Amino acid sequence: MTSTRTDGGTTGGDGGLDGAVVAVAGAAGPAGQAALLRLAEAGATVVAADADAERLAQAVDAARFAHGGATVTGDTVDLLDLAATREWVARTEKEFGRIDGLVHLVGDWRGSAHFAETDLGDWDVLHNLLIRTVQHTSLAFQGALERSGNGRFLLISAAGASNPTAGNAAYSASKAAAEAWTLALADAFRKTGGESPPPAAAAILVVKALVNDQMRKERPNAKFKTFTDVRDLADAIAGTWNQPTEEVNGQRLWLTPQP
Ligand SMILES: NC(=O)c1ccc[n+]([C@@H]2O[C@H](COP(=O)([O-])OP(=O)(O)OC[C@H]3O[C@@H](n4cnc5c(N)ncnc54)[C@H](O)[C@@H]3O)[C@@H](O)[C@H]2O)c1
């Protein structure tokens, strides 16, 4: 497995996640950058992974500089490689002693103007990006998140998963499959807990679309009314640790009006 790593120092954060270790998968995109910063601000040690080494290094550096002293590490990991994903978990647990969260942010979009024009090649791409990486991260992280005692597995899904539009068949079906997979993990956490609260919670945060500062800069007149700002998504991610596992496990948390 190829792996590069850069580490920062530690001075603690503004509480909430002090002492926690949170892994972010697909961390180099705009949502990842916001999540790294927010989790570091909350006091977590943040362990970021992405397949794109250059963009990942930029995201990790940005979070470190914006929150001086936070421990934010970056590992180049191809999450389509199950063995590499498991190695990432083992390495992280060995180095930091625990893992309290996996935030899944791997994404992309493919679609067409009309249903009849759907390119089944898009399905293959989205199957890998949106489903396979969820399968690998959930299988690799389940044990560590249960050992945490207060673990979180968080999927970011799209409102279209439960309300598909004609040109989004492959995208919506992929997200719906990822949601079902996440809910199966939630049931596994419930079963591990038995009569007690689950030792970890798997949950789905639902948005219609995401917006970031770069998008606002490029389209200054656009209102992005139905979009969720990546900072609000990051707040919602960090906020899931404020509720007990039994209240979060198996839930869809809507950050956009539910269709
Ligand atoms: N952007 C939106 O409007 C929108 C809408 C609904 C849901 N979402 C979801 O929100 C999350 C974040 O969205 P985003 O737009 O920031 O994501 P994104 O498309 O920027 O992808 C995030 C990262 O995933 C990485 N990645 C791709 N393949 C990988 C692999 N095999 N291994 C490791 N990393 C890999 C990419 O390099 C990228 O940096 C995603 O799960 C996405 O599906 C986004």
What separation in Å is there between the alpha carbon of 195 and the centre of ligand 1?
A: 36
Domain boundaries, the chain: 5-254
Minimal-distance CA residue to ligand 1 atom 15: 107
Q: Distance between CA atoms of 57 and 73, rounded to whole angstroms?
A: 9
Task: State percent of the chain over pLDDT 70.
Answer: 94
26 lines ligand 1 (CB under 6 A): yes
187 Cα to the center of ligand 1, angstroms: 25
Residue 41's CB is within 10 A of a number of other CB atoms, namely 20
Residue 51, ligand 1, Cβ within 6 A? yes
> Which of 108, 122, 128 should be mutated for ligand 1, with most atoms under 8 A from CB?
108
pLDDT tens for each residue of 233-256 = 999 999 999 999 999 999 999 999
Q: What is the pTM of this model?
A: 0.95
Q: What does the alpha-carbon distance between residue 106 and residue 3 come to, in Å, rounded to a whole number? A: 18
Q: Residue 248 has what pLDDT?
A: 98
Q: Which is nearest to 111 in space by CA: 121, 97, 100, 122?
A: 122
Tokens of 29: 């995109």
Q: Measured between alpha carbons, how far is 163 from 105 in angstroms, rounded to an integer? A: 21
Count H helices and E strands in the chain, helices first: 9, 10
Just give the CATH number of 5-254: 3.40.50.720
Q: Computed from CA positions of residues 132, 134, 137, 141, in that sequence, does the dihedral angle turn out positive or negative? A: negative
Confidence of residue 15 (pLDDT cuts 50, 70, 90): low
- Round to whole Å and give the CA distance between 63 and 53: 15
Q: Which of 122, 104, 113, 103 is nearest to 42 (CA)?
A: 103
210, 216, 230: which to mutate for ligand 1, most atoms within 8 A of CB? 210
The position carrying tokens 């044990």 is 143
Q: What is Dmax (Cα atoms) for the chain?
A: 56
Please write the tens of the pLDDT for every residue from 105-118.
999 999 999 999 99
Q: What would you report as the CA-atom Rg of the chain, rounded to the nearest whole angstrom?
A: 18
- Residue whose CB lies within 8 A of the most ligand 1 atoms, among 1, 50, 60, 216, for a mutation test: 50
